[in-house]
Amino acid sequence: MMSRSEALFQRACRVIPGGVNSPVRAFGSVGETPRFIRSANGAYLTDADGVEYLDFVGSWGPMILGHNHPAVREAVQKACEGGLSYGAATEYEVQIAELICSEVPNIEMIRMVNSGTEAVMSAIRAARGYTGRDKIVKFMGCYHGHSDALLVQAGSGVMTAGVPDSAGVPAGCTKDTLSAVYNDLGSVEKLFAEFPEEIAAVIVEPVAANMGVVPPEEGFLQGLRSLCTRYGAVLIFDEVITGFRLGFTGAQGYFGVDADLVTYGKIIGAGMPVGAYGGKREILSLVAPSGPVYQAGTLSGNPVAMQAGMAQLKLLREHPEIYTELNRKGDWFFEELKKALKECSLPYQVNHVGSLGSLFFTGGPVTDYASAKTSDTALFASWFRYMLGKQIYFAPSQFEAIFLSAAHTREELEQVLELGREFLKRI
């Protein structure tokens, strides 16, 4: 008898490309039928067949408090009573912008958009408008959404699919995109030496989380800061994942490095479609209608989404202990995973920063795209299938992250570690 997910997937494949609205959801690299989810609560998902899973994806990051948090749900329910969208300015977008600008370093102004892709695309345009330069530097294995110029040796679903770039992107769109090696400052210095006055921006995931999780090595982010200052380029921190996850001040606060522009997504919408880009007033004031850099959006600053995001950010701001506990939980969990590997004398790697981490099925350290790609994706797939069979839902790709939330309990994590040991003992 076919499961409901299987039946739904068959139907979906007839009317939606690949049966999904975002490629990584298709479970393509793990040889499983994608689970169609019916509901979620706290740390759990429930699929169309009523099977419950302990969830380590958390909608790819937004669910830092766990799914369906009462404060967020009630804010959305109340917001809906006022209607869904006006296409006009509202107090709600002012409130969330004031909160972020008052609490996060270097965010003097911020513009709301509808996705991380849109936030990054717009930040790049603002940096180009501000400097009058065309070239941008990105890092192999980092993923910044699917805008043309950034689909160059990208991570996440692109890396999972094993296609270095995308079809349909004209060479003209990527000719000004330069690729560097994550954690290799020399590779960036070389590009600046070659194009000393042509680089508008360097964009970096301050903790790379789209080739699996790869932390910045000591001095890497600080080095990017000095290079951008020296050559007059804009430093963009893509904090779509790290923003409001590592702490309320994100990676800037966590690592003590100042960016010029920061992009956000995920947590600031609490699960509703929200992205944002913010930073120095002298750059943001060039964005229309106050300046010549055009950017717009019908649903930008949507009142329901703003109230959802505000409810989540207010909770995080008023309860900093959430971060202390979450980061401590992450340190404990990922260190225990390392111990389990040692107990089984397995050479595999665990990278993590706070509540973000990855288990890489490769024998050497994972510090960049090339080393991440040495991972045994077939072995990852069997790990994934084993865990899914035990009702543990990890990201269906070696090149994604494990997201812990405030809703995961120590007991649940201990059970997962026990299951992990069982799997690892069989390898």
In the complex, the residues that contact ligand KE4 under the rule CB under 6 A are 22, 24, 60, 115-117, 120, 143-145, 156-157, 205, 210, 238, 240-241, 265, 275, 400
> Is cis: bond before 289, omega within 30 of 0?
yes
Q: How many C-beta atoms lie closer than 10 Å to residue 282's C-beta?
A: 11
Closer to ligand KE4 by CB, 291 or 297: give it: 297
Closest CA relative to residue 293, chosen from 174, 128, 113, 109: 128
Backbone phi and psi for residue 135, each to the nearest 5 degrees, phi listed first: -80, 150
Residue nearest to ligand KE4 (CB): 116
Pair 65, 407: CB distance under 8 Å: yes
Closer to ligand KE4 by CB, 227 or 240: give it: 240
Q: What torsion do the CA atoms of 310, 203, 205, 241 make, to the nearest 10 degrees?
A: 20
CA 314 to each of CA 72, 75, 267: distance values in angstroms, whole numbers, following the listed order:
10, 11, 12
Pair type for strands 392-393 and 52-55 = parallel
How many helices (H) and strands (E) the chain has is answered by 15, 14
Q: How far is the CB of 265 from ligand KE4 (least distance, A)?
A: 5
- Written as six digits, the tokens of 63 are 């669910």
Q: Which of 44, 55, 135, 238 is catalytic?
A: 238
Backbone phi and psi for residue 235, each to the nearest 5 degrees, phi listed first: -95, 120
Closer to ligand KE4 by CB, 249 or 358: give it: 358
Alpha carbons 328 and 314: distance in angstroms, whole number = 21
Q: How far is the CB of 28 from ligand KE4 (least distance, A)?
A: 12
Pair 264, 275: CB distance under 8 Å: yes
Backbone phi and psi for residue 361, each to the nearest 5 degrees, phi listed first: -90, 70
Q: How far is the CB of 408 from ligand KE4 (least distance, A)?
A: 19
Q: Which of 266, 280, 329, 373 is catalytic?
A: 266
Q: How far is the CB of 341 from ligand KE4 (least distance, A)?
A: 24
- Written as six digits, the tokens of 267 are 């947590």
Q: How far is the CB of 234 from ligand KE4 (least distance, A)?
A: 17
Q: Which of 92, 143, 348, 393 is catalytic?
A: 143
Closer to ligand KE4 by CB, 141 or 420: give it: 141
143 is catalytic: yes
Sign of the torsion formed by the C-alpha atoms of 344, 386, 209 and 135: positive
Please tell me what DSSP assigns to residue 287.
B
Closer to ligand KE4 by CB, 93 or 400: give it: 400
Q: How far is the CB of 24 from ligand KE4 (least distance, A)?
A: 5
386 is catalytic: no
323 is catalytic: no
Q: How far is the CB of 230 from ligand KE4 (least distance, A)?
A: 26
Q: C-alpha angle with apex 422: 421 to 425, nearest 5 degrees?
A: 80
Q: How far is the CB of 204 from ligand KE4 (least distance, A)?
A: 10
Pair 24, 395: CB distance under 8 Å: yes
Backbone phi and psi for residue 116, each to the nearest 5 degrees, phi listed first: -65, -40
Q: What torsion do the CA atoms of 410, 412, 415, 421 make, to the nearest 10 degrees?
A: -70
Give the relative orientation of helices 303-318 and 91-103 as an angle to the nearest 10 degrees.
30
Look at the block and give the residue holding tokens 């397995």. 346
Active site residues: 143, 238, 266
